[in-house]
């Protein structure tokens, strides 16, 4: 039997519990695979009651989750220290949030899970409790390196049915992006994207396009020299190695429908340059996928949204489960493509 998908519940005061339990409620409608939630059972039960969902919580392990899935929501207990109030994050619960992520990755390494789907965390809450990583992605990379014993370079891809993007730099200030955009960084990311796209998405080599750093892709050095001096030579070197990569091209004409039909993945120097178009086009069903890891990781493409956690309108939860459902289905698709042992 294939081990279940593992789902970390994220910050228990955010909308992670909302979208997890709502996705479970809609599991048959969306033909979702069995999954096991790593989180606090009482907090999840309380959130379901708050949302008006009558779903039993079933204490479970990776070995029992598949058979328990239709009985109730299978939960691997990771207790929190402080009472959970929807919309009111508490740094006292940071250790439980971090432990759930660590336990999930450790279980993947042991073969007890087939992929991990992570609900949103609030980095500021975790950092107030001593969390030293810039974000979820970097922590997962460290865990991958720790458990698998090999260097890990994480590459964040936001995937949707209409657009897939990779920000080449992630959680750094905009003023530092130019300095970070080196030929070596581009080559590393292209190599990882090319390998993992074929490994997990069942396609031939991906068609990649690189957005320019500067307006109009620098206009041959008249609006910045990074394209002329760094990016164009780097792209040519990668093309010579057989990668299907074009650019750098002006970012302002890269995301309309006709342009999107010409490539599979857009690579962008900056975080917002990549995420603004994909969140505009696919806000509800975008999925955060971390490439470069020795395991499959997906996540909803949204944050903790404390302001709407636990809230309903006309008995319908305000937190839409679409992105969590898409993350679960994409993890299943990647798992099926990769086969046993990934």
60 near 69, Cβ under 8 Å?
Answer: no
167 near 132, Cβ under 8 Å?
Answer: no
Q: How far apart are CA 282 and CA 290, in angstroms?
A: 18
Our CA dihedral for 135, 141, 146, 150, rounded to 10 degrees, sits at -160
pLDDT value of position 129: 81
Q: What is the pLDDT of residues 132-148, one digit of tens each?
A: 888 888 899 999 999 99
**Local confidence band at 341 (pLDDT 50, 70, 90 cut-offs):** very low
Nearest Cα to Cα of residue 7 among 286, 321, 271, 316 = 321
Residues 39-51 have a mean pLDDT of 96
Instruction: Catalogue all structural domains in the chain, each as residue range(s) with its CATH number.
Output: 1-153+292-342 (3.40.718.10), 162-281 (3.40.718.10)
**Local confidence band at 338 (pLDDT 50, 70, 90 cut-offs):** confident
Angle at 256 between CA 160 and CA 120, to 5 degrees: 30
What stretch of H or E contains 65? helix 65-68
pLDDT value of position 342: 43
What is the per-residue DSSP string for 160-228?
Answer: -SS-EEEESS-SS-GGGHHHH--HHHHHHHHHHHHHHHHHHH--SS--EEEE-SSGGGGGTBBTBSHII
End-to-end CA separation in angstroms for the chain: 15
What are 338's two structure tokens? 């990769």
**Mean pLDDT over each residue of the chain, to the nearest integer:** 94
Share of the chain above pLDDT 70, in %: 99
Q: What is the pLDDT of residues 183-211, one digit of tens each?
A: 999 999 999 999 999 999 877 899 999 99
Higher pLDDT pick, 285 / 5: 5
**Local confidence band at 267 (pLDDT 50, 70, 90 cut-offs):** very high
pTM of structure? 0.93
Residues 152-171 have a mean pLDDT of 94
Q: What is the pLDDT of residues 292-316, one digit of tens each?
A: 999 999 999 999 999 999 999 988 9
Q: What is the pLDDT of residues 95-132, one digit of tens each?
A: 999 999 999 999 999 999 999 999 999 988 898 888 88
Q: How far apart are CA 246 and CA 236, in angstroms?
A: 9
Q: Ranked by mean pLDDT, which of 135-144, 233-242, 314-323 comes out on top?
A: 233-242
Radius of gyration of the chain (CA): 20
Cα dist from 216 to 62, 211, 249, whole Å = 51, 10, 7
Residues 160-179 have a mean pLDDT of 93
Q: Residue 37: which residues within 8 A CB-CB, separation 6 or more? A: 7, 8, 9, 20, 44, 73, 74, 75, 76
Residues 164-188 have a mean pLDDT of 94
**Local confidence band at 339 (pLDDT 50, 70, 90 cut-offs):** low
Residues 60-72 have a mean pLDDT of 95
């Amino acid at each position: 039997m294939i081990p279940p998908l593992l789902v970390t519940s994220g910050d228990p005061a955010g909308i992670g519990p909302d979208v997890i339990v709502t996705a479970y409620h809609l599991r048959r409608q969306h033909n979702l695979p069995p999954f096991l939630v790593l989180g606090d059972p009482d907090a999840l039960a309380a959130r379901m009651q708050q949302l008006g969902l009558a779903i039993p919580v079933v204490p479970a392990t990776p070995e029992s989750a598949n058979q328990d899935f239709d009985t109730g929501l299978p939960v691997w207990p990771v207790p929190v220290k402080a009472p959970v109030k929807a919309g009111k994050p508490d740094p006292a619960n940071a250790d439980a949030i971090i432990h759930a992520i660590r336990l999930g990755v450790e279980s993947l390494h042991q073969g007890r899970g087939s992929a991990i789907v992570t609900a949103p965390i609030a980095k500021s809450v975790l950092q107030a409790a001593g969390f030293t990583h810039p974000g979820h992605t970097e922590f997962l990379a460290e865990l991958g390196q720790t458990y698998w014993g090999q260097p890990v370079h994480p590459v964040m891809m936001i995937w949707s049915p209409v657009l897939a993007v990779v920000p080449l730099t992630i959680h750094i200030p905009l003023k530092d992006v130019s300095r970070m955009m080196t030929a070596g960084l581009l080559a590393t990311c292209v190599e990882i994207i090319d390998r993992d796209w074929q490994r997990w998405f069942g396609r031939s080599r991906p068609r990649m396009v690189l957005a320019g750093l500067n307006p109009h892709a620098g206009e041959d050095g008249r609006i910045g020299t990074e394209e002329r001096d760094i990016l164009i030579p780097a792209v040519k070197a990668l093309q010579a190695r057989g990668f299907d990569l074009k650019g750098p091209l002006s970012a302002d004409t890269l995301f309309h429908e006709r342009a999107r039909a010409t490539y599979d993945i857009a690579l962008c120097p900056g975080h917002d340059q990549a995420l603004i178009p994909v969140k505009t086009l696919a806000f509800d069903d975008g999925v955060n996928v971390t490439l470069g890891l020795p395991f499959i990781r997906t996540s909803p493409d949204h944050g903790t949204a404390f302001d709407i956690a636990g809230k309903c309108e006309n008995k319908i939860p305000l937190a839409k489960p679409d992105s969590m459902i898409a993350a679960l289905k994409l993890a299943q698709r990647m798992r099926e493509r990769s086969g046993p042992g990934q």
